Each structure stands twice: as structure tokens, then as C-alpha cells.
Structure 1
Amino acid sequence: MSKKRYLVYLGIFLLVAFNYVDRVALSVAAPSIAKELGLSPVEMGYLFSSYIWTYLLFLIPCGFLTDRYGAKLVNGVGVAFWSGATILTGLAGTFAGLLGSRMLMGAAEASTYPAGGRALRDWAPRSEFGLAATMLNSGGYAGPAFGTLLLGWVVSISDWRWGFYTAGFIGFAWLVGWLVWYRKPETATFVSEEERAFILRERDTAAKVDSPAGGFGRLLRSRSMIAIAFAHGCAVYTQIVFLTWLPSYLANVKGLSIVKSGLFTAFPYFLATVLSWWLAHLSDRMLTRQGGSATGRRRLIIVASMLSAAVILAAPVIDSVPLILALITLSLTGLATGISLNIALTADLLQSPQDAGKAMAIQVSGGNAFGIVAPIATGYIIAATGSYDLAFVAGGILLVIGAAVTFFLTRAPIGAEIAPVAVTLRHA
């Protein structure tokens, strides 16, 4: 049987990768922007965080829109707007202009994970949930790897504005392919009838097909859903610290040039991407043999991944550049695997496929409730201490807490159980 469905996985991987190229453009250009506009670390922290403000605000609406109108339309509109906003960032000449364009980008990028997750929920057989979710999420690691290399080179031969123009044009190129090519498996012409039947059969048995959509309120009353969102936040905090401040850390603390900082940032991200794919495939094979995906057993692999990512706690005592890169690589691999499989865990436990967009929106909202704080807190830490050490320690502690929450609280199916105490998303 052919595996043309992997083309969809690849397309969603590239969607998230190019999304993160846009996000990392500011990180690559940060030293040049700060120098040209005279911005402090605290001001840069607010700029790094600004896209998450609107991203978080629009996630839930995008989840509803995705479940109603489908992945193709929501993704298409989102990519058009966030690519345009990235180009506008290159045209900005003031702090306010940069802030406004990044907030517009964040609002549009809120479509990416709900729509991308729904596309994979439509296409991925149960036996490939882990790999499919990891290909989606690992774009968030391949994007910074590719983006820091490409945009670092672009900025070094021109100026920081061309980094944003380049990132925006890449998004528009992906959009053309998406609009022309993407279809749901029921109507896609590039898959064989045998593969189509396999996808639909496994997809529909991955949830209780007689379970109606539970609605947003019911999802929020699910203890497993809230625990997944909280653990997602614990991991995303450290991911955002790396995404926003790692190039500046390597440039300012380790004395690397923009090009070398981009190269040394890209290396851990590339390795994390490849290793997370392998670990996700391993988790799918293991759970298929044991028949444990529907019982939440995937959480055990997530716990191990988050604890391995917590090795970043050792960063303050390491001075060697090769050793710190090895530590960051191990931490990023744990983050890439843990966050990806946490998305797969939602698919494992979700009772109604009609709730896929809303569930993804809740999960990513939980992540970005922490992510919104990460760049700002790091800016204040650097300004107050002159060091990045406490920023790494905070991330490591949150990862340990997230691992504990995952282990104890993500066992019951989402939609089949109600948390004993009403919990709101802001507590996650």
C-alpha cells in the first residue's frame, strides 16, 4: 500500500517550519535592531513576547473556525495574513511599528496549530498519531534551524529588514501550493482507494464514532485536557526562551558573530528535529504492539522526554561552547519529542474527532499562557542580573513540574470524564 498521506504530513511540517522562520526572524535581527533603535533588553523582551499576546487571544476562535470551515480555508487565510505581517515588520522604523506588526503576525499565526492539527486528525491513522503529530510540531524546530541559517546570512550581506522580507515571501510560496493541492482524504485524488480506505477506517476507529462533539465547556471540564494544556505550557516556556533569546545569548555571552550564532543555533534544532521523528516513530510502534495508546500510556514517553529536557538546569555551570551546545541539543530534543507526543496524547484520548480543532486550541493556549511570559521574564532577568542563568533554571524547574502533572493526571479519555472541580483555562 502506498503512503501518499505522508505528503500531507510533510506539507503541515513545512507550514509550521515556515511559521517559525517568521518568528525567529526577530531573534536573528535582534542585535541589529537593538543597536539601530537603541532598545534595552527589557524592550526587546516585550518585542519578543508581543506576537504571543494576540496569538493567545485568537487561538480559541481559530479552533472554532477550523472545526466549522475546515483546515484548508483557515490555514490559507492565516498564512496570507501572517506572511504579509512579517513583510510589514521589515518596513517598520519605530518600536511601536515593530510591536504592531508582530501583534498582527501573532493573531494570524493562531490559525496554524488548530488547522494543522485538524488536517492531521483527518489524515493520520491511529497507528501514526505520534509520527504525524511530531512532524507537525517538529516544524517548530526545523524552522528556527533553517531560519537562523538563511536569515543570518541574509542579514549579514544586507540589513535586518531583508530578513523579514525573505521570511514573508517564503510563506506566500507555501500558500500557493496549499491552495492548489490540499484536499481531505475523502476527496483527494492523489491517494489510492486502498490507502483511502485504510485512513478512514483507522481514523474513525481512533475515537468513539458515536460520541458527539462535546463542546468547548465540556473539554475545559476534562481533567486530562487541562493537565495536557498545563504540561504543554511548562514545556513551551523553555521552548520560547530558546526561540527568542538563544541567538542573543550566543552572540552576547559566547561572543559569536551573527552568522556563527545562526549556525550554532541551527545545529541543535536540526538534530532535535531528526531525533524527535525517530523517537515518535518508536513510540507509535511500541504503543501499537502493546495496544496502549487509547489508555494514555504515551504519557510515560512524554514524562521521560520532559525530564531529559530539564538538563538545561545545568547550563549555569557550563562555560564551554561545545558542551553548552550539546546540552541545548539534548534539551531541545526532549522538548521537541515531549511537546509533539503531548499533541498525539490529545488525539489518543479525545473521544470526538469533531472537537479536534477546539482541543488543539485549548492545548496550545495552555502552552502560550506560559510562553507569553517567557521572553519578558527573561528580559527582566538579564537586565537585573546581567546573566541568562536564572532563565535556564526557571525553564528546567517548570519541565520537572510538567512531567509530574503528565504522569499523574493524563489517564482518562477526554470527553468521558469531568474534572471534580471546575477549572478554567487561565489556571492552566
Structure 2
Amino acid sequence: MKTRTVVRWKLAWLLFLPITLLMSLDRTAMVVAAPIIQKDLGFSLQQMSWILTAFHWSYALLSIPAGMFAAYFGARIALVVANAAWSVLTLAIPFAPSVGALTGMRLLLGGFQAVDWPSSIASFKQWFPTAERSRANSALLAGVYLGPILGAPITALLVSDFGWRSAFLTFGLLGLVSAVLWWTFFRNTPDEHPGVSDDERAYIRKGMADERVHERKGSLAALVRRRAFWTIGLQGVCTGGVMGFFNTWLPTYLMQERGVALKSLGFFSSVPWMILLAVVCIASVAADHIYKRTGSEWAARVPSAVFGFLVSAVCLVLGVNMHEVPAALALLAVSLGGMGFVQVSTWSTIQHVGGDNTGILTAWNGMLTNGGAALGPVLMAMLVHRDGNWIVALSATAAIAIVGAFAWLLIYPMRANTRLAN
């Protein structure tokens, strides 16, 4: 059946992606500016580790409440409130007078941004048929990964020319604009949107006809009894542990360990994220193609995720032991690129496995992913302080990636295509 409108794709690429991008820019600004803030305000590496990871701690702890908040009020209300709040906090960061105040603002920032992902993933479940979800989810992932790609050089330029505070003021103002656009153009379901044609609504419903939901909406108790609930969480911890290095320490590692100058830091910091974005786009198309051909969630999700974790592990170990900077950067870029296979598989699996509890399962995975992203960099800082280099820290991160690959083998029985809700 042909559709007369493609409102779902316009929302994905012209609304969800920009909002997620601006959210990512807020995070990237702190990571890229960290070496300058540390020097300007006289913070130690340990103090910076707490400031940088405070975001992930609150994101982790508040992910499930944020998912319930989004499920109760709907994505339209939940995300406009959260978006406005995290934008105001971004504007306030330059005025933080101390380590404690800066850490507190980062904690609040993480709490409000925790609303975004459950809202977005649950919305895509309502707006997209099963066979299109990997490609749809790539719009969200593209927004997240364009943040470091665009944000790193933009932040480096703003910091270099106007001081580190200018980046937060710029991104905070843009965030407030995006909140207004979200409230104006988004609706929670296709039935509520005046621009969606009857043909498009029928197409979406037909593509979701095989999804039978048995669990009560928002029922966390029903989820925790399932094996997939825990294995999805385990791979989330591993994902956060691996990506925590790139989200938190990559610019600092490049500047302090590899001697990259500030003017070049933006470009070198963005290269791995460019590779990751390219992998996400390719992997999402491939996953939808495999699902259409086989009808198997296992075939479309599991081998890709296992492969991605293993590639990331191998390249991390090789990269940290490589003496030549270009070769080391290339290996680190491929390592992060491998996580693109994992991310594409993760969110499509959560939508399939979660049934009517997709928002809660998204929040659970988000809680543990950000828990790993918070704890990992702190432990890295301790190892680097102890050893005087990054070899052991990144080798331990590679071991975490191997555990993540194993977790994926336990999420789906190889012969089964049933959802968690069944």
C-alpha cells in the first residue's frame, strides 16, 4: 500500500534528529571544553572526572522514573518540559561558582535529559511499522552522534575565540528554540496528527499487525521476571563502559597523552564519531533488509551486535598500544564505529522485546548504560593516576566489550522470534 504522506519520516529527520542533536551538543560542550575548564578553574583530573560523569549518574538513577513520567504524560508534554529545563541548565553552567555547583548542574542536566530517550523510542514504536524501525532509530542515533561530530569543532572554535562559557550559552539558546518547535509540530500518535493521511495511518497499522501486547503498560514487575530484561541491561552496562571513554575522556586523552593541539582537537575528536555515524546508517539499512528477508529478530540483531562489540574490543587494545598518532586515532575510530552495530541492534530489540513496556525497558537500559558510562570513566581516571598511562584502563574497557558480546548471545534464543511480552 502506497502512502500519500510521509509525516513519520519528516518527524524523524526534521524534528527528532535536531532535538537529539542539540541535546548531544550540550553534552559535547563540556567534554571538549574539559581540558580548558580544568586549567582555567584549577581542577584536578579526579575533580573533572566527577564533574564529567555527574551527568551519567543522574541519568542512570532517574532513567526509570523518567520513562514512567514519559509514559504517563506522553512524549509531547514530557519532552517539551525536559527540553526547556535542560536548555536552561546549559545556559546556567557558565555561571557555576565552584566544583560543587558545576557538579550539581550536571546532575540536574542528566536527570532532565533522561526523559528524551524513553520518549523518543516509545514514540517511534507508535509511528513506525516493524520493518522500518532500524532506519527510523538511526535518525535518533544520528542526532546523538552528530553532536560530537559537529559539536567538537564548533565548541573548540567558540572556546578558542570567545572562551569556554560561550559554547554553553550558544547551545542553551538553541535548545529553547527546539522546545518550541517540538510542542508546535509533534503529536503522540499518527491518529492525533492532522497532517497524516488515512493511507499512511493504514500503512503504519498494517506494519504492526503482528504485534500482540499482553503486558500492562508500565508494568516493571512483569518485566523483571524475564531473562531478556537482565541480559539487555548487562549489554547496556557494557555499552556504557565502552562508550564512556569516548564520551568523557577522548579529548583529554588526545590532548594530554597524544599531544594534540587545541586548534586540532575538535577535528580529531570528531573523527571517531564520523565513523560511528556512517556505521549506524549502513547497519540500520542492513538490519531492516535482513529482517524483511528472514523475519527473524535474532538474525537481524544478534550477529551484528556481537560483531560490533568484538571489533571495538580488538581495536581499543591495538589503538592504545600504537605509537603513531594517526594509526592510533584510526584504530580508536574503528573501535567506536563497532559500537554502531551494537546501538542499531539495541533499540530495535528493545522495541520488539518490550511490547507495550517499551518506554520502561528503554529506561532500564538507559539507567544501566549511563551507570556504566558514569562508573567507567571514574575507574579509568583512577587507573591512569595509578599507572601514569592509559594502557591498563583501555585494556580493561576492551574486556568489558567482550562481556557485552556474550550478553547478546543470551537475549534471544536462536530459534525464537517471540517478544518478551509473549
Mapped to 2, the partners of 1:357 and 1:322 lie a distance apart of 41
- Contact 1:41–1:382, Cα closer than 8 Å, also in 2: no
Instruction: Look up the equivalent residue of 1:122 and give its one-letter code.
Output: Q
The answer to whether structure 1 residue 394 and structure 2 residue 399 are counterparts is no
Distance 1:377 1:206 in 2: 45
Matching residue of 2:173:
169
> Is the 2:83–2:113 contact (alpha carbons within 8 Å) kept by the matching residues of 1?
yes
Unpaired runs of 5+ residues, structure 1, are 418-428
- Aligned partners of 1:190, 1:228: CA distance in 2, in Å? 36
* Counterpart position of 2:379: 377
Find the aligned partners of 2:71 and 2:206 in 1 and give their Cα distance: 21
Q: 2:207 aligns with which of 191, 202, 210?
A: 202
| Number of equivalences | 413
Question: Residue 309 of structure 2 aligns with which residue?
Answer: 306
Query: For residues 203-242 of structure 1, what are the structure 2 equivalents within 5 Å?
Result: 203=208, 205-209=209-213, 211-213=215-217, 215-242=219-246
Counterpart of 1:65 in structure 2 is 69
SS of residue in 2 equivalent to 1:256: coil
- 1:184-203 residue pairs with structure 2 within 5 A? 184-203=189-208
Query: Is the 2:71–2:218 contact (alpha carbons within 8 Å) kept by the matching residues of 1?
Result: no
TM-score (norm 2): 0.93
- Confirm or deny: 8 A CA contact 1:48 1:376 kept in the other structure: no
Alpha carbons of structure 1 residues 206 and 170: separation in structure 2 relative to 1, 3 Å: farther
In the TM superposition, 1:224-263 aligns within 5 A as 224-263=228-267
Tell me the distance in 1 between the aligned counterparts of 2:75 and 2:358: 11
SS at match of 2:192: coil
Preserved CA contact (<8 Å) 2:231 2:410: no
The alignment's TM-score, normalised by the length of structure 1, stands at 0.92
* Secondary structure of 1:318 counterpart: coil
Structure 1 vs Structure 2: percent identity of aligned residues? 26
Distance 1:212 1:94 in 2: 46
Tell me, in whole angstroms, the C-alpha distance in 1 between the residues paired with 2:230 and 2:323. 38
Inter-CA distance 407–158: structure 2 relative to 1 (3 Å threshold) = same
What is the DSSP-based 3-state SS (H/G/I as helix, E as strand, rest coil) of the residue aligned with 1:213?
coil
Offset of 1:270 from its aligned partner? 1.9
Pairing 1:12-411 to 2, within 5 Å after superposition = 12-183=16-187, 184-203=189-208, 205-209=209-213, 211-213=215-217, 215-293=219-297, 297-310=300-313, 311-350=315-354, 352-353=355-356, 355-411=357-413
Deviation at 1:401, TM superposition (A): 0.8
User: Quick check: 2:22–2:175 contact (8 Å CA) kept in 1?
Assistant: yes
Change (3 A) 1:360 1:35: same
Q: What CA RMSD, in Å, does the superposition of the two structures yield over aligned residues?
A: 1.8
- Whether the 8 Å contact between 2:235 and 2:408 is mirrored in structure 1 is yes
State the shift of 1:137 in Å. Answer: 2.6
Q: Deviations over 1:71-101 (max 9, x none)?
A: 1111111111111111111111321121111
Q: Give the direction of change, closer, same or farther, for the CA distance of 1:187–1:395 in structure 2 (3 Å limit).
A: same
Amino acid at match of 1:324: A
C-alpha separation between the residues in 1 aligned to 2:288 and 2:33?
A: 39
Amino acid at match of 1:372: A
State the partner residue of 1:5: 8
Please report how far the alpha carbon of residue 102 of structure 1 lies from its aligned counterpart in structure 2 after TM superposition: 0.7
* DSSP 3-state at the match of 1:186: helix
